[in-house]
Amino acid sequence: MPLSTPNASEQTLLEQQLVNGFTLGLIYALIAVGYTMVYGVIELINFAHGEIYMLGAFLTLSFISMGLPLPLAVLLAMLAAAAIGVLLDIIAYRPLREAPRLAALITAIGMSIFLQNLAMIIWGSRPMPFPKQALPAFFSEPALTFSDVTISWMQVIIYAVALLLMVGLNLIITRTRVGTAMRALAQNQTAASLMGINVNRVISFTFALGSAMGAMAGIMVSMYYNTMYPTMGYLAGVKAFAAAVLGGIGSVPGAMLGGVVLGIAETLGAGYVSSPYRDGVAYAVMILVIIFRPSGLLGRAVTEKA
């Protein structure tokens, strides 16, 4: 039925933008938890995390091109991304554990640039589409329609996968021995080591877990927008970092909340202000939060660790 009043049209736009924003926000949340877990354990901002997100998409493409079915390709891409995250820690960050934080930060930026250029060498610099033949035909069809607002099956899959991964992550952190070890390291790394916790192993597990979730985000984005390119991780990484700061850096629930809030703010900005300014929303949110609430929405002000 056609819309009869401008108010109805505005309401439909708002509802559709909220749906789209929630979709985008869950993807940001998956990337943001990788940032916040690593920071919570070793107080490092892993700026190469955005490139892990990018590699998740390209690795899936490569596995599909080998003739593997989509579910197996996605699983292998997540495992490969987890392994890359562990190697990143062992090669780039572990030797700098006792070095000033600026050294590790510069190294993280250097690894980000290295992985971008490595992806360009392997897959080329041009954008590539996600192979549609690998996706079920119903993915692009509407799953639910209400008030002229449409939710596609692809969005439903993103909701289900993202929420399932976040619930699983929360269970790992709160209900398992390795999760307890991660929380112990976040409190005091020296004391955790004296209690018999293998610090390097727990840190590597943290990198693996965050990298796998970041890779899944990259896979879903490439499916959703039907494109991938070697520099896609930079901007997504900045936005996810802004989401982590918004929620409270070091807080996993905060990263999830920050991602959703940022995604909705970005789509509303694109719908009601101007689409070219949507990327500026992440920077504006990060600046405002740092100025008015440095600890984030769910974060707490803490004293510097000894």
Instruction: Give the mean model confidence (pLDDT) for residues 160-175.
Output: 91
Domain span holding position 93: 15-292
Joined together, the tokens standing for residue 41 give: 């354990």
Q: For residue range 198-239, list pLDDT tens digits in order.
A: 999 999 999 999 999 999 999 999 999 999 999 999 988 888
Q: What is the pTM of this model?
A: 0.89
Q: Does a structural domain hold residue 298?
A: no
pLDDT of residue 4: 38
pLDDT on residue 133: 83
pLDDT of residue 100: 87
Q: Would residue 299 count as lying in a domain?
A: no
Question: Quick check: is 7 in a domain?
Answer: no
Report the alpha-carbon distance of residue 7 to residue 12 in Å, rounded: 9
| Per-residue pLDDT at 25 exceeds 80 | yes
In a domain, 306, yes or no: no
Q: pLDDT at position 209, please?
A: 94
1 located within any domain? no
The answer to whether the CB of 82 falls within 8 A of the CB of 204 is no
Q: What is the CATH number of the domain that holds 75?
A: 1.10.3470
Predicted pLDDT of residue 165: 92
For the chain, what is the domain count?
Answer: 1
Question: What's the whole-number mean pLDDT along residues 92-110?
Answer: 90
35 vs 44: CA distance, rounded Å: 8
In a domain, 40, yes or no: yes
Is 8 a domain residue?
no
Q: Is the predicted pLDDT of residue 6 greater than 60, yes or no? A: no
Asked, for residue 303, whether it belongs to a domain, the answer is no
Which pLDDT does position 289 carry in this prediction?
77
